[in-house]
Every structure is written in structure tokens, then in C-alpha cells.
Copies of this chain bind each other. A is one copy, B any other.
Amino acid sequence: MGTTISDIAKKSGVSLATVSRVLNNSGYVKEETRNKVLETIKEMNYTPSAIARSLSKNETNTIGVIVPDITNSYFGELIKGISEVAEASDLNIVLFNTDDNLEKELKALTVIKEHRLKGVIMSPMFGENEFNSNYVNTLENLNIPIIFVVADVKYTSFNGVFVDNIKGGFDATNLLIKEGHKKVGIITGLLSSEPAMDRLMGYKKALAMNNIPIREEYIFKGDFKLSTGYDITKNVLNMEDGPTALVVCSNMMTMGAVKATFDENKKIPNDLAIVGFDKLEFLDMVGINITYMEDCPEELGKSAMYMLKEVIDNKDISEKKRLTISPTVIIKGSEKKV
């Protein structure tokens, strides 16, 4: 263990508070005393500790980042974006991986509060079914700037950077209709999550805009999982009067859908047209080309970090900042009507 400011204080024969004032260049210290302290610091080869500095200001130069699943490269790219901007501002990131677990999320918030972190960027877990007042209370009483990213918490209006998922669902569906598909189905995400609900809303809006009646039997309730995408698609391929095109609302479910068409010896888009969601570059790499709606998580991360800096610097937390980014469509051919 290195030299502490207590050691410096002892050796210089002054109080801890005096050493602290010298280190932070704050408050009055006699010239003579200051020199003695500085000499001792030099003598003892003391590096001013960031901890000591942060104590004097009762804050750190560290922010917290909370993500639901660090093994998902979507969140890896989000963090990359956050950390690029944070680094340029000499801010460090304490990372919390919650495994989509509400308790872990609450614990992370407690730790963040206890450590007086400068702010939080949080991508809340998906699929929380019930409105949880304890959860919202904790968030509201955090007293630390917080920016939500990717997903919002229902029935609240915190600062955040979000994706326009209604537009995403609309554009994906509309693209298939414009190609000539009249029977378009959707595999939704978990409908307790806001992005999933929004995409479904966009889907319905696109049908309505094109005067196509909504058929409830074409709305398949998914859960973001590969196996679900697989099972539903297998089912769709064998359905009588089934959809000729599917909007599939996550990358993993799209993988499952692709695998199902392989296993059924069917072709995309000839037997089933597909528009997916989120980056599908692994499919691309092996030459399986699926059209998808992309939001760029690295950009979301950067925007969230810029927003957090703004909130921290202005200290004005009364006005809410909400930014919504539109996803873009990446055309690969799987949407075609053959």
C-alpha cells in the first residue's frame, strides 16, 4: 500500500484537512505550511490519489453504465460508443451487467448512489411485466443524472436516447407491401417490452395505411429467442393460406426463421420473404442475405453519453431531454416478391 495523506499529515505535523487544502488548492493555508507539506509530498514520493481528490469534491470522475446482457454484441457496441465519448472527457466507466435481472439492476443503482458516481447510462431490462413502483421510486430518488438508452421504462419520462420502433415496424411492413405482398405476418418480441409493442404498432399502421385488413392469425407472439423464431416459422411454412412475408422483430428470431426455412427445404424469398431487425452480419458473412431494420447501437451510445455530459454540466435536471433515432433499412433482397 502506498503513502496516504494521513502519512503526509503526520510527517508534516499538520492536520489531514490542511494536507487536503494544499492538494486541492482550496481554502487558506499559510505559505510556510504549504511549502512544508509540498516538500513532504515530494520526499515521500506521493502521487495525489484520484480518490482523495474526489472526496474533496464529494464526487468522482466516474459514471455507471448498466446493460442487461454484456454477451450480446449489440450492447458491446453500445458501450464502445459510450466509452469513446467518455474517454475524450476523462470519464471512467463502471460497468454493471444485470443478466436481465431486476434485483441486479436495483443493486447496481444502489452501488452507483453509494459511490457518488457522476451519472448513469442505463439500458433497462426488457420484459418487466408489472408496473413496479419500487423500481420507479428508486430511479426517481437516485439524485444522480440518469440517461436511459435503447429501451424506456414504461409510464415514466426520464431523459433518454431511444429508437423509433414504431417507424421501424412501419417501414419493415411497408417495404414488404410495396414489393407486392398482401399477406404479411409478424413475429413480435415480448409484448411487455416497449420496443416490441412499438414495432407491432408500426406493423398495424402500415397495414391500415395500405388498406390491408389486420388478420390476428398473422400476428405471432415471440420472445426474442431463436427457438421461438424457428418454431413459429416452421409453423408458418406449413400453414394453409399463411403469410407470404414475415416481419421478424429480433436478430435471434430471424436466425431461427432462416434455419427453419433451411430445414423445411424452402427458399427465401421465393417461399417466404423476410425482413428482420438488428444487425445480421453473421448471416451476411456466409452469404445469406436478409433485409433488416438497423439501429446503430454505437451511435446510440455516443448520443447517450453526450446527453449525460450536458445534464451533468448544466446541473439542470428539471427539463427532460428525449432524443429518438430512426432505424434505417438495409436492403439485401429477402423482401422481394418472386
Q: Which residues of A contact B (CB under 8 A)?
A: 1-2, 4-6, 9, 15-17, 20, 47, 49-52, 54-55, 58-60, 62, 65, 70-73, 75-77, 79-80, 83, 87, 92-97, 99, 104, 111, 113-116, 143, 226, 255-256, 258-259, 262-263, 282-283, 285-288, 298
Contact = CB atoms under 8 A, between A and B. Distances in A.
A251 to B, nearest CB: 10
A104 B282 CA distance: 28
A4 B55 CA distance: 8
Main SS at interface, chain A: helix
A162 to B, nearest CB: 21
A71 B77 contact: yes
A116 B50 CA distance: 8
Given A58-B1, A73-B71, A259 B285 contact: yes
A19 to B, nearest CB: 10
A6 B16 CA distance: 11
B94 A51 contact: no
Contact of A286 (B50, B55, B104, B283): B283
26 contacts: A1-B58, A4-B58, A15-B15, A15-B16, A49-B58, A51-B51, A51-B115, A71-B77, A71-B80, A71-B298, A73-B73, A73-B76, A80-B99, A83-B96, A87-B104, A92-B96, A92-B111, A93-B94, A94-B94, A95-B95, A226-B285, A258-B286, A259-B285, A259-B286, A259-B287, A283-B286
Given A70-B76, A76-B72, A77-B71, A50 B114 contact: yes
List the 6 closest pairs (A to B, CB-CB), nearest first.
Answer: A282-B282, A95-B95, A71-B76, A16-B17, A4-B58, A50-B115
A276 to B, nearest CB: 13
Contacts of A59: 1, 51
B15 A51 contact: no
Contacts of A79: 70, 95, 97
B97 A115 contact: no
A295 to B, nearest CB: 15
Contacts of A114: 47, 49-50
Nearest to A48: B114
A177 B254 CA distance: 37
B259 A94 contact: no
Nearest to A49: B116
A73 to B, nearest CB: 5
